[in-house]
Amino acid sequence: MSSLEFSKVFIENIGVLTSGTIKLDGNAITFKADIGSKTVKLSRSNVTELRFQKLGNKPGLRVALDDGGSQRFGGFKDEDLEKINEFANVNWQMNIINTELVIKGWNYGQVEVKGRNIEFSWEKIQFLKFPVPMFPNV
């Protein structure tokens, strides 16, 4: 399998969800918006980690980058994630980590700055993450 393509998915950019099509091949992950000219291309050499996690109420894919940033894609079906895992294993020699997010209202936890993100976790399970660029200097 040299490439995978999924339509009717979305990319998250500072809380804004843009629908489109994502394509994974041996060299990159490419997202093309359905409307407009938004295109995001993540080179395979910049990808350090892949994680499955819920994005809203749908399965999602979080792509960690070597500069400390990350990009999240959502709107997948459960069976899509198995295909992505197989593709990443064969073509990129990467195992995808399954992340269970903690979503209870009473959590107390730890806060860490990781790359360009602030991550909140409880018992080593991430429950909230903010990209630092979202917060301008006041």
Indicate if the pLDDT at residue 67 is higher than 80: yes
Q: Work out the average pLDDT over 105-133.
A: 77
Give the integer Cα–Cα distance in Å for 5 and 80: 10
- pTM of structure: 0.73
Give the integer Cα–Cα distance in Å for 131 and 26: 28
Would you mind telling me the total number of residues written for the chain in this entry? 138
Pick the CATH number of 3-98 from 3.40.50.1980, 2.30.29.30, 3.40.50.620, 3.40.50.300: 2.30.29.30
Indicate if the pLDDT at residue 137 is higher than 50: yes
- 10 Å CB burial of residue 80 (0-12, 13-18, 19+) is middle
Q: How confident is the model at residue 120 (pLDDT cuts 50, 70, 90)?
A: confident
Average pLDDT, rounded, for the chain: 86
What is the model's pLDDT at position 110? 80
Indicate if the pLDDT at residue 89 is higher than 70: yes
Q: Which segments of the chain belong to CATH 2.30.29.30?
A: 3-98
- 10 Å CB burial of residue 32 (0-12, 13-18, 19+) is middle
- Contact, 99 vs 126, CB < 8 A? yes
- CA distance to 38, 57, 58, 72, 85, per residue, from 116 (Å): 22, 25, 25, 14, 26
